[in-house]
Structure 1
């Protein structure tokens, strides 16, 4: 009989098939401007859309510098399993995540063997979390958009 070690409990609330992910980090002294510079690059908006596509389960993301640029908030909503979500960051966007997070204290890098525990140590479970359509995954929403677009094209063909 094979036994599988249980995954550690991870923070965060779930509503339907979507979960919230809220992290707080201390910014290295003097690195707030470097983080702001990343977000103010002309190409960051396009990169954000590409990252969303690469992850595939990411609904939204917010990065917020606060307390006079000494702390950083990273908050997202995502579909599926917490560990798989972190694996996606490591496999699909390690360069993007590391470029921002290297400016926070004690960040070991996304490929560090203890990264999941390190991230969980910075995660805070929301007091409340809800979604307008809790059972709609990113894939469901993308499919609905494709169906709607096809429906609109069909209607336009008969005008």
Structure 2
């Protein structure tokens, strides 16, 4: 994904990404996620929180969100998988 960050949003985006990194190592967060059993709703919050700093992002509930992601995707130069594809 390559997106243009909204003017004045770089610091807020850095703060949101740092907050996500901080909780990634928190065992309480891992325990809560295991109790939920699915990350579907959590993904929505993460996408809305991070991509809301991108120009033109319509939000995850917008019918055009898939088109927005497709328009901003880029092919991976390298890929790795734990099992042969």
Match in the other structure for 1:46:
23
For the pair 1:128 / 2:78, whether they are aligned, the reply is yes
Scaled by the length of structure 1, the TM-score of the pair is 0.40
Distance 1:48 1:102, change over 3 A: farther
Shift of 1:109: 0.1
Q: Which runs of 4+ in 1 moved over 3 A?
A: 47-55
The superposition leaves residues 51-105 of structure 1 with CA deviations (integer Å, 9 ceiling, x where unpaired) of: 88643xxxxxxxxxxxxxxxxxxxxxxxxxxxxxxxx4xx443222211111110
Separation in 2 of the partners of 1:47 and 1:93? Answer: 14
Match in the other structure for 2:60:
110
User: 1:25 aligns to what SS in structure 2?
Assistant: coil
Which structure carries more strand by proportion? 1
What is the number of residues matched between the two proteins? 77
Scaled by the length of structure 2, the TM-score of the pair is 0.69
CA RMSD of aligned residues (A): 2.8
Say which structure, 1 or 2, has more relative contact order (CA 8 Å, 6+ apart): 2
- Structure 1, unaligned runs of 5 or more: 1-22, 56-87, 136-159
